[in-house]
Every structure is written in structure tokens, then in C-alpha cells.
């Protein structure tokens, strides 16, 4: 039975609802300072024909090694992703690079190198896998230089934990690729690194063969690469092979183009711990490095190492690029990623794309929107 409201009560109720909506909206948009918006793109497909993929760089949620002096986040890390969870959850599929192993105790730490070379060993509590699920991640890469920090047993334990909670992964010899289905769309993910026990990006022919094998099994194919020298001196794509003390770590530009030639639709790079430029090649988006995303301990967060893009990419159902959005984040020691009011990484990527890829048909606006130039 419907209730009878007086006219005044009804109007009052409407005003309260309106004020609540305005208040919430103001709180939401006040996160970032005003910026020049991108113009409307009339060529963008209807929302129902767009697929939204979110990608981020390195994730190291805390460290429980050494055993006698762990460094773990406040409240055991349950709030690390609070500021950016809504972006990750709203994606059709979300990807990140798991920079380390999930292991409570034990493992065989890799040998300590001779001075002055520092030794980094990244081991996270096994229960922290829940933080990735709660944040909305669908798939992670385990192809990186820290997946073997504590030996093969720790590497396998990490894979077993991911499997036990249904978090997809790619890049190991155990599972070179994965297929994740969301909303009736199949997303393939391949992951490559120049490191031991990972699917190698130094074997370009083998990488192309794998991509050609996976492509027919999915609608959109995402490729992850962990490659590049590390630090603020390596923000630019070098267009040649890189070497790291003294092992080769690949020519990322040539490798990424080879991946697209073989069928990759999106490439998410990480490894240098700083953001690098983005490029559009054959109508496919390549992000050469997404930097440090959630690394509250164990890594430098100074200067460019402390800002990064949370990259949102919208593609057509054939995988071709339609539009993108850089959500700029920053970190401070002991805290997770938060939206950056200064939008520093957007400015950095604008500069990098101008210097590294001046002919790419991409334009990045001050608010982070990425469009194809007309």
C-alpha cells in the first residue's frame, strides 16, 4: 500500500537528497585540482562496446624478511588500496606486477652480492594475497627479478597461494599464460622478463610463438614485460638493448613492437621503478613502464620513483585502442598509493612522450585523458 506524503514533506525530502548528492559529488571531484579538460571525442564507441582494462606497475605490500625485523604496513595493510580501489574495481579486468614472493617463513635467500652493490630480497606474508583480491585485481605477473629471491620453493608457494584464491597469474614456467573471462569476454595475459625462471623476453621468436598460440583463445591479449634499467636516470626508452650488471635485459622497444606484430593488444611495462612514455603502434597501446604502484617499503620513493600512473585503457572488442586515462598516484614511506593532486606523473609522461615518441598519434591532456590525434 503506497503512503501519502504531504507536498512540503516531499519537497523537503527531495532537497535533502539533492544536497547529499551535491556534497558527495564535491568530495569526489575535489581530490584533484582543476585542469584543462580534453575535448569530446565523437568517434568514441558506445559504452557497451568498450572494454576497460586497468594496469599498474610494481606491487610490494610489505616485507616479513628478515624474520627478526619485518617491515609491515599499519593495520596489516588492509587499507593500502583504499584511495584507488574504486578505479581498480570498476575495470573489466585489472592487472598488476607482483614484485616478490608470498611466503610466511623460510625460503633460501639469494646470495648477498659483494659491496657496494645492495641486495634486495622481497618476501610478503601469505595472507596479503587477500589485499590484492579485495582491491579488485584479476591477474598478476610473476615474471620479474624478485620472484626467485627465496628460491624455487618460495616461487612455487607463491603460485600455489595465487591458485588457491583464484587470482590468475602468468609468466612462470609453471604457467606461461592465463585466460581470464569477465562478462563473456576472454582476456589472455602473457608475461615476460629477462630473469631466471621466467618466460624470457630475450627469446623474441619464442615470445611471438607464445603470443600467436594464445591469441586465438581470447578476445583481447595483454602482454606484461618486466624490463629496463632502474632509477631516475632511465626514464627514457633507450631504443637499444639495455644491460644490467652486466647481463642483457633486452631491447624493450623492439620487443614490444614484435609482441604487437604477433597479436598483442595492450602492453603493460614495469621494472625501471619510474614511469616511461606510452606509444601507439598499429593502433595498440604500449606503456613502457608504469613505475612503482604500491611499494610502501623496500624501494626508494624519492622524486620520480614516488609517482606513477594507474593506467586505464579502453579498447574496442578487437583490442584496438579507443581512449585512455592516467590516474596519477603518489606514495610516501609506509603508505599505499593515493591520487596525486599535483598530477606530477601526467606532466612527466607528457614530457617523455614528446621527447621519445614525437610522431606517435597520441595526445595526453592535463587531466590525464589519452586520445588519438585527429
Least confident of 3-12, 253-262, 275-284, 328-337: 3-12
State the pLDDT at residue 245: 64
DSSP string of 122-186? -EE-GGGHHHHHHHT--EEE--STTTTTTHHHHHHHHHHHHHHHT-EEESBSS-SEEEEEETTEE
70 has pLDDT over 50: yes
Q: Model confidence at 21, in pLDDT bands (50, 70, 90)?
A: very low
Over 60: is that where the pLDDT of 278 sits? yes
Task: Report CA torsion sign: 339, 344, 345, 350.
Answer: positive
Residue 163 in this model has a pLDDT that exceeds 70: yes
Question: What would the DSSP string read from start to end of 319-339?
Answer: S-EEEEEEEEEE--TT---EE
Question: Does 42 score more than 80 pLDDT?
Answer: no
Higher-confidence residue of 223 and 14: namely 223
Please report which confidence band the pLDDT of residue 113 belongs to, taking 50, 70 and 90 as the band edges.
confident
Asked if the model's pLDDT at residue 273 lies above 80, the reply is yes
What mean pLDDT comes out for the span 305-319?
Answer: 98
* Cα distances (angstroms) measured from residue 34 to each of 307, 310, 339, 343, 366: 19, 19, 14, 10, 9
* pLDDT digits 0-9 by tens, 180-236: 999 999 999 999 999 989 999 999 999 999 999 999 999 999 999 999 999 999 999
Residue 190: its H or E element: strand 185-193
Residue 5 has pLDDT above 70, yes or no: no
Name 167's Cβ contacts closer than 8 Å, sequence gap at least 6.
129, 132, 133, 137, 138, 139, 140
Task: Return d(Cα 345, Cα 268) in angstroms, integer.
Answer: 16
From residue 212, give the alpha-carbon distance in Å to each of 165, 177, 207, 208: 29, 12, 9, 6
Could you give the CA distance from residue 205 to residue 202 in angstroms, rounded to a whole number? Answer: 9
C-alpha 46/C-alpha 322 separation (Å) is 11
Whether pLDDT at 4 is above 60: no
CA–CA separation, 99 and 295 (whole Å) = 9
Q: For residue 19, what pLDDT band results from cuts at 50, 70 and 90?
A: very low
Average pLDDT over residues 119-130: 95
| Dist. CA 86–CA 315, nearest whole Å | 20
Q: Which residues contact 77 (CB under 8 A, 6 or more apart)?
A: 61, 62, 128, 131, 336
Buried b (16+ CB within 10 A) or exposed e, 12-50: eeeeeeeeeeeeeeeeeeeebeeeeebeeeeeeeeeeee
On average, the pLDDT of the chain sits at 89
Give Cβ neighbours of residue 48 (< 8 Å, ≥ 6 apart).
none
pTM: 0.88
Whether the per-residue pLDDT at 114 is higher than 90: the answer is no
Task: Answer yes or no: are the C-beta atoms of 332 and 301 closer than 8 Å.
Answer: yes
Q: What is the pLDDT of residue 246?
A: 64
As a whole number of angstroms, the distance between CA 113 and CA 147 comes to 17
Spell out the residues 6+ positions from residue 106 whose beta carbon is closer than 8 angstroms to its own.
150, 153, 154
Which residues, including other chains, have CB under 8 Å from residue 213's CB and lie 6 or more apart? Answer: none
**In this predicted structure, what is the pLDDT of residue 37?**
52
Q: Is the pLDDT of residue 11 over 70?
A: no
pLDDT (0 to 100) of residue 7: 42
Rounded mean pLDDT, 152-156:
97
Give the pLDDT confidence score for residue 25 in this predicted structure: 37
Tell me the average pLDDT across 260-280.
Answer: 98
Q: How many residues does the chain have?
A: 374
pLDDT for 2 equals 32
Mean pLDDT of 170-189: 97
In the chain, % of residues over pLDDT 70: 87
Tell me if 129 sits within 8 A of 167, measured CB to CB.
Answer: yes
Average pLDDT over residues 62-88: 96
User: What is the pairing mode between strands 220-226 and 185-193?
Assistant: parallel
Question: Which pLDDT tens digit goes with each residue over 326-362?
Answer: 999 999 999 999 999 999 999 999 999 999 999 999 9
**pLDDT given for residue 247 in this prediction:** 72
Q: How far apart are CA 36 and CA 364, in angstroms?
A: 11
Relative to beta strand 369-372, strand 321-330 is antiparallel
Q: Give pLDDT, residue 248.
A: 86
Grade residue 112 by pLDDT with cuts at 50, 70 and 90.
confident
Tell me the C-alpha distance between 344 and 329, whole Å.
8
- pLDDT for 117 equals 74
Neighbour count for residue 217 (Cβ, 10 Å): 11
Ranking 106-120, 189-203, 274-288, 290-304 by mean pLDDT, the lowest is 106-120
Across the chain, how many H-helices and E-strands are there?
A: 7, 20
Amino acid at each position: 500500500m503506497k503512503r501519502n506524503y504531504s507536498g512540503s514533506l516531499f519537497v523537503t525530502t527531495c532537497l535533502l537528497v539533492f544536497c547529499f548528492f551535491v556534497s558527495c559529488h564535491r568530495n569526489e571531484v575535489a581530490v584533484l585540482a582543476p585542469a584543462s579538460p580534453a575535448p569530446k571525442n565523437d568517434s568514441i564507441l558506445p559504452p557497451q562496446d568498450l572494454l576497460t582494462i586497468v594496469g599498474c606497475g610494481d606491487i610490494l605490500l610489505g616485507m616479513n624478511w628478515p624474520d627478526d625485523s619485518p617491515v609491515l604496513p599499519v593495520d596489516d595493510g588492509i587499507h593500502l588500496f583504499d584511495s584507488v580501489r574504486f578505479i581498480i574495481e570498476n575495470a573489466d579486468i585489472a592487472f598488476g606486477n607482483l614484485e616478490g614472493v608470498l611466503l610466511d617463513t623460510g625460503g633460501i635467500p639469494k646470495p648477498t652480492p659483494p659491496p657496494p652493490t645492495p641486495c634486495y630480497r622481497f618476501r610478503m606474508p601469505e595472507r596479503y594475497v587477500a589485499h590484492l583480491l579485495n582491491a579488485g585485481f584479476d591477474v598478476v605477473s610473476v615474471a620479474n627479478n624478485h620472484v626467485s629471491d627465496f628460491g624455487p620453493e618460495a616461487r612455487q608457494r607463491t603460485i600455489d597461494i595465487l591458485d588457491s584464491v583464484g587470482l590468475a597469474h602468468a609468466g612462470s614456467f609453471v604457467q606461461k599464460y592465463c585466460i581470464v573471462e569477465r562478462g563473456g569476454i576472454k582476456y589472455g595475459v602473457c608475461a615476460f622478463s629477462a630473469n631466471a625462471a621466467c618466460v624470457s623476453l630475450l627469446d623474441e621468436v619464442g615470445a611471438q610463438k607464445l603470443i600467436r598460440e594464445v591469441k586465438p583463445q581470447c578476445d583481447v591479449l595483454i602482454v606484461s614485460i618486466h624490463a629496463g634499467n632502474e632509477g631516475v636516470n632511465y626514464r627514457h626508452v633507450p631504443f637499444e638493448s639495455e644491460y644490467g650488471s652486466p647481463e642483457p635485459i633486452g631491447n624493450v622497444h623492439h620487443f614490444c613492437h614484435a609482441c604487437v606484430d604477433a597479436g598483442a593488444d595492450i602492453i603493460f611495462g614495469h621494472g625501471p621503478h619510474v614511469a616511461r612514455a606510452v606509444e601507439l603502434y598499429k593502433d595498440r597501446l604500449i606503456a613502457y613502464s608504469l613505475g612503482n604502484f604500491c611499494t610502501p617499503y623496500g624501494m626508494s620513493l624519492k622524486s620520480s620513483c614516488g609517482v606513477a600512473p594507474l593506467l586505464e585503457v579502453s579498447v574496442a572488442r578487437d583490442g584496438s585502442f579507443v581512449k585512455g586515462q592516467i590516474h596519477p598516484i603518489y606514495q610516501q614511506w609506509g603508505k599505499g598509493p593515493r591520487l596525486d593532486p599535483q598530477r606530477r606523473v601526467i606532466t612527466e609522461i607528457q614530457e617523455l612522450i614528446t621527447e621519445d615518441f614525437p610522431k606517435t598519434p597520441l595526445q595526453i591532456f592535463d587531466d590525464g585523458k589519452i586520445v588519438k590525434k585527429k
